[in-house]
Amino acid sequence: MTTTTITAPVPVRQPSQGNRVAWVVADIATMTKRNLLALVRTPEAVFFTTLQPIMFTLLFTYVFGGAIRVPGGHYIQFLMPGIFVQTVIFGAMSAASGLSEDLHKGLIERFRALPMSRSAVLAGRTTSDVVRNVFVVALITIVGYAVGFRIGTNVALFLCGALLILFFAYALAWGFAIIGLSAPNAETAQVMVFPLIFPLLFASSAFVPVAFMPGWLQAFAKHQPVTQVVDGARSLMVGGVLHNSGAVVAALLWSAGLLVLLIPIAVRKYRRVA
Amino acid sequence: MANSFNPTLAIEAHDLVKVFPRGNVRALDGVSLEVEAGTVLGLLGPNGAGKTTVVRILSTILGPDAGRASVLGRDVVSEPDAVRRIIGLAGQYAAVDENLTGRENIHMVARLSHLSRKVSSRRADELLEEFGLAGAGDRVLKTYSGGMRRRLDLAAALVANPPVLFLDEPTTGLDPQSRQGLWVAIEELVRDGTTVLLTTQYLEEADRLARDIVVIDHGRVIAEGTPAQLKADLGTSVVSVTLGDRAAVDRAVELLTPFSEKAPVVEDLVIELAVRNGPKAGADVLRSLDAAQITIAGLALREPSLDDVFLSLTGHKTTIEESGEEAVAKSKRGLGRARKSDVADGKDAA
């Protein structure tokens, strides 16, 4: 180890109003890139997180599908938007374990001693989760096509439906981030999110029509956000008897509301973890 | 108690207090210290004494509950971003990203320090070269040894050429060769004008690198000065007797205790006595052991080491070094938690 003389001094730039915003964006981009690189370097993890929704698609289509009566009569048309939502929610859950790991490996400590934006670690994590979710949704669409799913509206509306789902997952990821920063370790973070997600996902219209549920459960299932997002996505992706513009609006409001609520809590939590 | 900035001081801390509500641990109970620009301050103390807490406050990671501190005149509480632009931090857990390559790690820290892409790439090349990692720069960190990770961690801390560097137990768990290498690197930085605050459990490390030493225990400063001053203040030298026979240890200890200024330190066949007048005490020891017909395998007289100073100050030896695996297990258990429990351990030991 020899210290070579540094050829030119390193300019440490002082912030001006203009580049302060640019720096926040650059910080988020750096963190997003870092998370995506980690993703590319662990293909096993990507493989298994993609395998799961594929299995759900096949399982629900061929095992349960025949026994479930749905509006419109085609279960696969009913199911696919639900599978998309399930996929992105599971994808967003990695925000919890990922942040927990960063925290306990000392990386967040390092980030906190750098002149970077306070929210970039969280924003980078949730953004890279969106990128991954886009990839997985595209893949699941192909699998859906293979088992008989067809876009019932048009490609533009289908993409709007996909955006609606991704927006919701992005909002949820901020909630998972809070859990990740609160959990004692990555494994616990992972199991902490399940009891939160399972009732929301299964007591929703994602896999079966809410009308089949007992009355007391319907009251919850009809109004909770996952149902709104699934119904909104169905309206945009499949349409026809599943058209429901009220759900689209409700889904957008839920997602925006969650973001407004969760981002400040997550950033506050990040500032305080030590 | 200078309210204005003293330009010769790179780091100032006044009466820092930090209480961890969980377990109600008073991690810092009024710590003050000053580091002159261009020098190395060694912050010593047993596990849980509060060393890491001091570093975390000075590097803006943690806010103090009371007291104030500044780095190059910038207040760590009111101007944290300004402080972050002029410091580098290398911690005991080698905070590097496992999934990235060495080059990507440095590049990431450079970008987050708001260096341009071009400068970031140049710095990554320079630092990999400087720290002997040029060949491993494009390998994912999972393949790095513990020593390589530490070097990369230090390299990343230096990316923006910070004038002030915090090193929190930089060589804990490293093999002697890697430790030497890191020492040389730190010495070169100091020669180039960098101010360093170094925490360590290795007194040899402090003795070699630090111009001044602050010893803390239970969140309070219990001694400060240069290594030479601290040793001189101890006022004693050490007579070290190695016995030939294990069966004689208890009797020899009983016999030699009156010669020692404090309780003799016994390790296996070796008995160490703290004495005022070394040569005379050595002769006395020999005579009395001879009279009791206890055979000795060796006798040595030495000046006190920082270890002796530490023992005398804190009542216990510096903690046995952690192995690399333990350090990793600890970091997996949770950084914040691990440190807080260390604080609790420290209290228990007292």
A62 inside domain: no
Query: Quick one: tokens of B96?
Result: 């590097």
Q: How many domains does chain A have?
A: 1
Residue after which a domain boundary falls, among B231, B258, B287: B231
Q: Tell if the CB–CB gap between A11 and B119 is shorter than 8 Å.
A: yes
For residue B109, list chain A residues with Cβ-Cβ distance below 8 A. 110, 114
Mean pLDDT (chain B, rounded): 83
For residues B303-327, average pLDDT = 60
Q: Is residue A259 part of a domain?
A: yes
In a domain, A98, yes or no: yes
Q: Looking at residue B252, what is its pLDDT?
A: 83
C-alpha B274/C-alpha B268 separation (Å) is 18
pLDDT number for residue B342: 37
- B184 and B66: one domain? yes
Please report the DSSP string for A110-177 in residue order: HHHTSSS-TTHHHHHHHHHHHHHHHHHHHHHHHHHHHTT---SS-HHHHHHHHHHHHHHHHHHHHHHH
Task: Give yes or no: residues B201 and B252 share one domain.
Answer: no
Q: Percent of chain A at pLDDT above 90?
A: 64
With a cut of 80, say whether residue B350 has pLDDT above it: no
**Does residue B2 surpass a pLDDT of 60?**
no
Token pair of B144 as six digits? 């790095």
Q: Which of B86, B89, B140 lies closest to A41 in CB terms?
A: B140
Q: Tell me phi and psi for residue B211, to 5 degrees.
A: -85, -40
Say which CATH number the domain at B294 has.
3.30.70.980
Q: Report residue A14's pLDDT band, with 50, 70 and 90 as the boundaries.
A: low
Instruction: Specify if B64 maps to a domain.
Output: yes
Mean pLDDT computed over A210-218? 92
pLDDT of res. B338? 35
Q: Would you say residue A69 lies in a domain?
A: no
Residues of A in contact with B119 (CB under 8 A): 10-11
The predicted model gives A14-36 an average pLDDT of: 86
The CA-atom distances, in angstroms, between A148 and each of A79, A145, B224, B235 are 11, 5, 77, 89
- What values do phi and psi take at B252, rounded to 5? -65, -40
Percentage of chain B with pLDDT > 90?
44
Provide the terminal-to-terminal Cα distance of chain B, rounded to the nearest Å: 31
Q: Decide if B283 contacts B230 (C-beta within 8 A).
A: no
For helices A43-59 and A120-146, give the axis angle rounded to 10 degrees.
40
Residues B226 and B276 grouped into a single domain: no
Of all residues in chain A, the one with the smallest CA distance to B183 is A1
pLDDT for B191 equals 94
User: Can you tell me the distance from the alpha carbon of B342 to that of B331, in angstroms, rounded to the nearest whole number?
Assistant: 12
| pLDDT computed for residue A16 by the predictor | 65
Share the mean pLDDT of chain A. Answer: 89
Instruction: Give residue A95's domain range.
Output: 27-37+74-272
Do B206 and B293 share a domain, yes or no?
Answer: no
Neighbours of A90 (CB within 10 A): 19
- Pick among A31, A33, A108, A114 to test the B interface (most B CBs inside 10 A): A114
pLDDT of residue B73: 92
Give me the number of domains chain B comprises.
2
Boundary of a domain, candidates B214, B231, B248: B231
Do B150 and B219 share a domain, yes or no?
A: yes
The confidence band for A118, taking pLDDT boundaries of 50, 70 and 90, is confident
Q: Are residues B49 and B99 in the same domain?
A: yes
pLDDT for the residue A80: 95
Mean predicted confidence (pLDDT) in A221-245? 94
Q: In chain A, which residues have their Cβ closer than 8 Å to the Cβ of B85?
A: 12, 14, 115
Instruction: Quickly state the pLDDT bin for B324 (edges 50, 70, 90).
Output: very low
Residue B188 scores a pLDDT above 50: yes
A20 touches chain B (CB under 8 A): no
Work out the minimum CA distance from B139 to partner chain A, whole angstroms: 12
Average pLDDT on A153-162 reads 96
Between chains, do A115 and B61 touch, taking CB under 8 Å as contact? Answer: no
Q: Average pLDDT, stretch A53-77?
A: 89
For B63-121, write each residue's pLDDT tens digit. 999 999 999 999 999 999 999 999 999 977 667 898 999 999 999 999 999 999 999 99
Whether pLDDT at B312 is above 80? no
What are the chain A neighbours of B154 within 8 Å (beta carbons)?
Answer: none
Q: Any idea how long chain A is?
A: 274
Tell me the residues of chain A between 45 and 84 that have a Cβ less than 8 Å away from chain B: none
CATH code (residue B129): 3.40.50.300
Structure confidence at residue B310 as a pLDDT band (50, 70, 90): confident
Contacts of B25 (CB under 8 A, 6+ apart): B19, B340, B343, B344, B347
Answer yes or no: is pLDDT of B325 > 50.
no
Q: Quote the pLDDT of residue A17.
A: 64
Percent of chain B with pLDDT over 70: 87
Q: Please give the residue that has the higher pLDDT: either B340 or B175.
A: B175
Confidence bin at A255 (pLDDT 50/70/90): very high
> Sorting pLDDT into bands at 50, 70 and 90, what band is A8?
very low
Q: Is residue B218 in some structural domain?
A: yes
Task: Please indicate, yes or no, if residue A63 is contained in any of the structural domains.
Answer: no
How would you write chain B as a 3-class SS string?
A: CCCCCCCCEEEEEEEEEEEECCCCEEEEEEEEEEEECCCEEEEECCCCCCHHHHHHHHCCCCCCCEEEEEECCEECCCCHHHHHHHEEEECCCCCCCCCCEHHHHHHHHHHHCCCCHHHHHHHHHHHHHHCCCHHHCCCEHHHCCHHHHHHHHHHHHCCCCCCEEEEECCCCCCCHHHHHHHHHHHHHHHHCCCEEEEEECCHHHHHHHCCEEEEEECCEEEEEECHHHHHHHHCCEEEEEEECCHHHHHHHHHHHHHHCCCCCEEECCEEEEEECCHHHHHHHHHHHHHHCCCCEEEEEEECCCHHHHHHHHHCCCCCCCCCHHHHHHHHHHCHHHHHHHHHHHHHHHC
Residue B155 has pLDDT above 90, yes or no: yes
Task: Answer whether B100 sits within 8 Å of A34, measured CB to CB.
Answer: yes
B200 and B247 belong to one structural domain: no
Is residue B299 domain-shared with residue B188, that is, in the same domain? no
Phi and psi (nearest 5°) for B216? -120, 150
**Residue A244 and residue A161 in contact, taking contact as beta carbons nearer than 8 Å:** no
pLDDT score of A10 more than 60:
no
Same domain, B49 and B71: yes
Q: Residues B206, B143: one domain?
A: yes
Instruction: Establish if B336 belongs to a structural domain.
Output: no
Q: Same structural domain for residues B255 and B162?
A: no
Residue type at position B218: H
Does the beta-carbon distance from B112 to A114 stay under 8 Å?
yes
pLDDT of residue A48: 82
Higher pLDDT, B153 or B277: B153
Identify the domain boundary among B202, B231, B260: B231
What pLDDT shows up at residue B178? 83
Q: Are residues B152 and B240 in the same domain?
A: no
Residue B58 lies in a domain: yes
Q: Among residues 127-186 of chain A, which lie with CB inside 8 Å of chain B?
A: 184-185
**B130 → closest Cβ in A4, A105, A120:** A4
Is the pLDDT assigned to residue B213 strictly greater than 90? yes
A48 within domain boundaries: no
Q: Which domain holds residue B281?
A: 236-303
pLDDT at site B25: 83
ipTM of the complex, rounded to two decimals: 0.85
